[in-house]
Amino acid sequence: MSTQSTSFNSLEDLRAACLDLPAGSDTAASAVARRQETLTKPPGSLGRLETIAAWLARWQDRDMPKLDAVKVFVFAGNHGVTAQGVSAYPSEVTVQMVANFAGGGAAINQLARIAGARLDVIPLDLDHPTGDFTIAPAMDEKAFLAAVSAGYDAVTDDLDLVCFGEMGIGNTTPAAAISTALFGGGAEKWTGRGTGVDDAGLIRKITAIEAGLKRHADSLSDPLKIAAALGGRELAAILGATLAARKNNVPVLLDGFVCTAAVAPLARLHPTGLAHTIAAHVSAEAGHRRLLEALGLPPLLDLGMRLGEGSGACLAVNIVRSALECHARMASFAEAGVSEK
């Protein structure tokens, strides 16, 4: 297990890490494809279950993948932009929900248990919300890099699969702001109701995002500066954790809109930056489906979920386990004495 602490000292250090990504193992993925051809089923009849098995092999660098060590990371942060009335809930709910996670009372606790995954909740300086991005950067370079490093250090090379999720009142506003900055089209296109704001609250969210884009116009050509100026600590940590997973040969299941927006800068920096990830689900939050399409990430599930917490990602662990069980335990035509076509 790698436990060496990583501290990115500058945006250029982080950018260099994002541009230097391993490609995964063609050999392992090809071995899975060859085995799939021998199993007692018509070719390709298990659809994405077959490609999931090959994806696991590629990014674990194993001819026969395994799922012995699965972990769910939930990163939590607070946001200064909530001062603009962008959430239906007060910021103190972030701390309260972290306590609920610790007590085992949240949805993610139940889903992690059923999925056979360990849960690790990482609060990030909850007593000090990020800056209100309508008037100042959410994070200066030092704070952004510290959050990225915290996420990076959380992911060790002894893990077989990780799920990323978040908790942070108001964080669909930074997610929509980052999406708008990266892909254009205007704030209204990317902004939804989050925790359930009314029409007036939705207008406040759009107005805040537009103000943030105007305030930080000089940063909008750089994906990392966008993430610092408009994002949040939990989003930055997810970015760092996703980068670490790539470096450590650990495949990733992404959760909903906030999680996907958090890693979108990596996709803009590197053409295959998210190749080691699968979108676990498409959430009901406005903008998520559009963002997945922009990133070329077809979701596994569409259940109308919009909770966060890594809930959709954790639910998809069961699909990944099913893919691996079929791949590893199905008989070949020869073993079963079944005639091939």
Q: Cα separation of 310 and 279, whole Å?
A: 11
Q: Is 204 exposed, middle or buried (0-12, 13-18, 19+ CB in 10 A)?
A: middle
User: Dihedral sign, CA of 276, 267, 185, 141?
Assistant: positive
Angle 223-230/11-19 helices, nearest 10 degrees? 130
164: closest CA among 87, 92, 261, 229? 261
User: Is 309 among the residues known to form the active site?
Assistant: yes
User: Under a CB-based contact definition with an 8 Å cutoff, are residues 94 and 298 in contact?
Assistant: no
User: Under a CB-based contact definition with an 8 Å cutoff, are residues 216 and 223 in contact?
Assistant: no
Annotated catalytic residue within 309, 325, 335, 340: 309
Q: Hey, what long-range contacts does 327-332 have (CB within 8 A, 24 or more apart)?
A: 327/32, 327/35, 327/36, 327/39, 327/49, 327/50, 327/53, 327/65, 328/64, 330/39, 330/40, 330/41, 331/39, 331/40, 332/38, 332/39, 332/40
- The catalytic site residues sit at 309
